[in-house]
Amino acid sequence: MAGKNREIKEAKVQDIKTKLGKAQSMIFASYQGLTVEEDTELRRKLREEGVEYKVYKNNLTSLAVKELGIEEINTFLTGPTSVAFSYSDLTAPARVLSSFAKDHKKLELKGGYVQGMLYDAAKVVILASIPSRDVLISKLLGSLQSPMSKFAYLIDAIAKSRESAN
């Protein structure tokens, strides 16, 4: 029986290592005190942003980070800890968790690990203020489009004024 339990734990550590290895950003939070309804709402919001949200035993996560050589993450592994993984949008987990924590005081941000850098809770809140990649791209395109449309309008106005002058 003990051998089966060890196999299960080893598989769980391997799963954690896989997620930690491919995640672009990870935000750690204390979720203790959230109701089932609040937790369900949080998970739904994270899922909508493409963020994976998990709760693992701290000792299993600690083994995984040790094997990956990112032991600085252990500073966040005290008490009940949840992890929000993002594989594409670096700011999504921070945005959703930070926003949710404003309305639900039981959710407490512990910190994050984003592209190899450790963030404390205050830096996670700053990270949360950065708009998503899609929003940034649309703002860039809008700022590029505005001068072009003004230029096109100007050229059209010049052409019309020349036609009316003839």
My answer on whether 25 and 48 are in the same domain is yes
Say if residue 140's pLDDT is above 80: no
Say if residue 162's pLDDT is above 80: no
Domain span at residue 13 reads 2-130
CA distance 131 to 12: 33
My answer on whether 86 and 156 are in the same domain is no
My answer on whether 70 and 148 are in the same domain is no
Q: Looking at the 3D structure of the chain, how many domains does it have?
A: 2
Q: Report which of 18, 29, 21 is spatially closest to residue 116, judged by C-alpha positions.
A: 21
Q: pLDDT at position 136, please?
A: 60
My answer on whether 7 and 67 are in the same domain is yes
pTM for the full predicted model: 0.76
My answer on whether 121 and 152 are in the same domain is no
DSSP 8-state secondary structure symbol assigned to residue 90: T
Q: pLDDT at position 150, please?
A: 72
Higher pLDDT among residues 59 and 1, named by residue: 59
My answer on whether 104 and 144 are in the same domain is no
* Tens-digit pLDDT profile for residues 37-62: 999 999 999 999 999 999 999 999 99
Q: pLDDT at position 129, please?
A: 79
Cα dist from 122 to 52, 65, 128, 146, whole Å: 22, 23, 10, 36
My answer on whether 106 and 137 are in the same domain is no
* Tens-digit pLDDT profile for residues 63-121: 999 998 888 999 999 999 999 999 988 889 999 999 999 999 899 999 999 988 898 98
